[in-house]
């Protein structure tokens, strides 16, 4: 049956040729005219068929888009997947037509047939690429996949598709099988690994980043080695794009995320607060014991009034029971201006409306330095937004710097005589 069908097709392809021979035309000229007419007729028919299929697929796409509940088909249309699918049937028809039209031109027919097959391979790759781009765009609209590195997986699929496509083209050109090329590829694996080193490293890194949930799109990361400090906007097979807070873009190799150290601020963003960790450097010369008169004066500060009264009573009772000579303040137990100020800072931060008191909160004295004694505030701002966080921190330290003189304390400042001279 198949042989009979081929015979019928061949006879149809030679109808014009036979007619021209009967009219007395030379065989060579009759063959060229027959070929030209057949090619023109089939190309016109294939073009009309391509347009017709495109109109049918477009109408079906619109109809499905109106009925479907998701917008995946919208992405297919936006990336012109139906338009490229409409080219498949015309190309298949051309593949069947070439042996018929070029029956008298075997060599030329073989070349044209190879060209159409190669074109079909490229068309298949384009359809795959458009389809994966549509899938990528659709998945990014879903909350579950919005922060996942879908681009990396699309690139991996396309790399494999292009490798298979290129091997298929080589097989078509050389009239051999694809499996022979895969066998030869095994022998040249070292060269392939060298050429695709970055892609392979990126693939492994993308898988590890996803499995370990190290980075998501939208995370704020700091990568000092590459000068990155901002939000992740794209994760692809080879690179990670970070939009810094100065609106510049830093590109980081994907494999650097697993080979180097970087800071991901996601933990802070999903927690109950953003950490405040800043110190006041208090001049050691301003720290001293408080006299009874100064104690009474500090009792007027409402925030520490109860604390000073309670501590002053305990200290007086202890000193009296132990017959401490208070002619010198250093004897016995005493209040210091630094200790009272530390208590004042603690109470002030605890009562601040922008501080999350459910998280760690402490005011601690750090090891003395040549510049003075650091008094560090360790707390968490309830508002994690950068501008609001900076405002909260500045508001706290504005108040504390203004409160220092009430406790007869001073912050360290470089003496004027030691300041660097300015050259005009």
- DSSP-derived secondary structure for 328-342: STTSS---BHHHHHH
Task: Point out the least confidently predicted range of 55-69, 221-235, 238-252, 395-409.
Answer: 55-69
Query: Rg (Cα) of the chain, in Å, rounded?
Result: 40
Could you tell me the pLDDT band of residue 277, with boundaries at 50, 70 and 90? Answer: very high
**pLDDT of the residue at 374:** 95
The mean pLDDT of 235-262, rounded to a whole number, is: 86
**pLDDT (average), residues 115-144:** 82
Angle at 389 between CA 388 and CA 392, to 5 degrees: 85
**pLDDT score at 136:** 79
Identify the residue with better confidence: 306 or 102: 306
User: Average of pLDDT values for 248-265?
Assistant: 86
Q: What is the pLDDT of residue 48?
A: 85
> Does residue 230 sit in helix, strand or coil?
strand
**Percent residues over pLDDT 90 in the chain:** 28
Position 6 scores a pLDDT of: 46
Give the pLDDT score at 47: 82
- 82 closest CA partner among 133, 130, 154, 139: 130
Calculate mean pLDDT across residues 220-249: 87
pLDDT band at 271 (very low <50, low <70, confident <90, very high): confident
**What number is the average pLDDT over the span 162-166?**
78
Statement: the pTM of the whole predicted model exceeds 0.75: no
Confidence of residue 22 (pLDDT cuts 50, 70, 90): low
Name the band, by pLDDT with cuts 50, 70 and 90, for residue 424.
Answer: very low
Dist CA 16 CA 8 (whole Å): 14
Q: Which long-range contacts (CB under 8 A, 24 or more apart) does 137-143 make?
A: 137/75, 137/78, 137/79, 138/70, 138/71, 138/72, 138/75, 141/71
3 pLDDT tier (thresholds 50, 70, 90): very low
Among 5-14, 108-117, 308-317, name the one with the lowest average pLDDT: 5-14
**For residue range 324-356, what is the model confidence (pLDDT) as tens digits?**
888 888 888 999 999 999 999 999 999 999 999
How far apart (Å, rounded) are the C-alpha atoms in residues 346 and 337?
A: 14
Lowest model confidence (mean pLDDT) among 213-222, 288-297, 402-411: 213-222
Task: Place 421 in a pLDDT band, splitting at 50, 70 and 90.
Answer: low
pLDDT mean over 240-263: 87
**129-143, 151-165, 180-194, 232-246: which range is least confident on average?**
180-194
Segment (H or E) for 365: strand 362-365
- Give per-residue pLDDT as tens, 372-383: 999 999 999 998
Beta pairing partners, 289: 336
Q: Find the angle CA(136)-CA(137)-CA(141) to the nearest 5 degrees.
A: 110
Pairing state between β 362-365 and 373-381: antiparallel
CA–CA separation, 261 and 378 (whole Å):
25
Report pLDDT for 363: 95
pLDDT at 2 exceeding the cut of 80: no
Residues 350-366 have a mean pLDDT of: 93
Three-class SS of 124-166: HHHHHHHHHHHHHHHHCCCCCCCCCCHHHHHHHHHHHHHHHHH
pLDDT tens-digit readout, 167-223: 777 777 777 766 666 665 555 556 666 666 666 677 777 777 777 778 888 888 999
274 sits in the region (left: phi over 0; alpha: psi -120 to 50; else beta) called beta
Percent of the chain with pLDDT over 70: 78
Residue with tokens 């999903």: 270
Of the two residues 9 and 159, the one the predictor is more confident about is 159
pLDDT tens-digit map of 62-100 = 777 677 666 777 777 777 777 787 888 888 887 777 776
Share the mean pLDDT of the chain: 80
How many CB atoms within 10 Å of residue 164?
Answer: 17
Task: Tell me the C-alpha distance between 278 and 397, whole Å.
Answer: 9
Rounded-to-integer distance, Cα 87 and Cα 397, Å: 70
User: Which residue in 400, 410, 383, 413 sits closest to 276, CA to CA?
Assistant: 383
Let me know if 329 is exposed, middle or buried by CB neighbors in 10 A (0-12, 13-18, 19+). Answer: middle
Write out the two tokens for 119: 């074109």
Tokens coding 83: 């338009």
């Amino acid at each position: 049956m198949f042989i009979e069908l081929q015979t019928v097709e061949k006879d149809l392809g030679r109808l014009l040729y036979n007619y021209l021979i009967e009219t007395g035309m030379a065989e060579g000229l009759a063959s060229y005219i027959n070929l030209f007419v057949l090619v023109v007729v089939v190309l016109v028919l294939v073009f009309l068929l391509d347009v017709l299929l495109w109109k049918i697929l477009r109408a079906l796409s619109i109809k499905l888009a109106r009925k479907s509940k998701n917008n995946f088909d919208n992405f297919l249309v936006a990336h012109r997947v139906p338009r490229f699918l409409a080219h498949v049937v015309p190309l298949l028809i051309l593949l069947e037509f070439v042996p018929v039209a070029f029956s008298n031109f075997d060599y030329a027919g073989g070349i044209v047939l190879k060209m159409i097959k190669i074109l079909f391979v490229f068309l298949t790759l384009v359809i795959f690429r458009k389809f994966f781009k549509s899938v990528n765009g659709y998945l990014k609209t879903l909350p579950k996949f919005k922060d996942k590195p879908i681009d990396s997986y699309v690139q991996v699929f396309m790399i494999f598709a292009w490798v298979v496509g290129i091997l298929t083209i080589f097989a078509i050109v050389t009239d051999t099988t694809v499996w022979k090329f895969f066998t030869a590829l095994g022998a040249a694996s070292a060269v392939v690994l060298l050429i695709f080193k970055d892609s392979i490293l990126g693939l492994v890194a993308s898988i590890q980043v996803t499995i370990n949930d190290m980075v998501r799109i939208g995370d704020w990361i700091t990568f000092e080695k590459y000068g990155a400090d901002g939000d992740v906007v794209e994760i692809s097979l080879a690179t990670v794009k970070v939009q810094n807070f100065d609106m510049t873009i830093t590109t980081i190799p994907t494999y650097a995320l697993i080979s180097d150290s970087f800071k991901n601020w996601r933990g802070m963003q999903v927690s109950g607060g953003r950490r405040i960790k800043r110190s006041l450097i208090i001049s050691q010369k301003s720290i001293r014991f408080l006299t009874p008169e100064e104690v009474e004066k500090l009792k007027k500060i409402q925030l520490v009034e109860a604390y000073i009264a309670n501590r002053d009573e305990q200290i007086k009772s202890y000193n009296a029971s132990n017959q401490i000579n208070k002619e010198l303040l250093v004897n016995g137990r005493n209040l210091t201006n630094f200790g009272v100020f530390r208590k004042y800072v603690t109470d002030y931060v605890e009562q601040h409306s922008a501080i999350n008191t459910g998280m760690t909160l402490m005011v601690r004295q750090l090891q003395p330095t040549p510049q003075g004694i650091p008094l560090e505030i360790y707390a968490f701002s309830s508002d994690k937004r950068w501008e609001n966080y900076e405002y909260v921190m500045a508001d706290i330290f504005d108040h504390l710097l203004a409160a220092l003189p009430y406790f007869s304390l001073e912050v360290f400042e470089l003496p004027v005589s030691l300041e660097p001279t300015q050259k005009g």
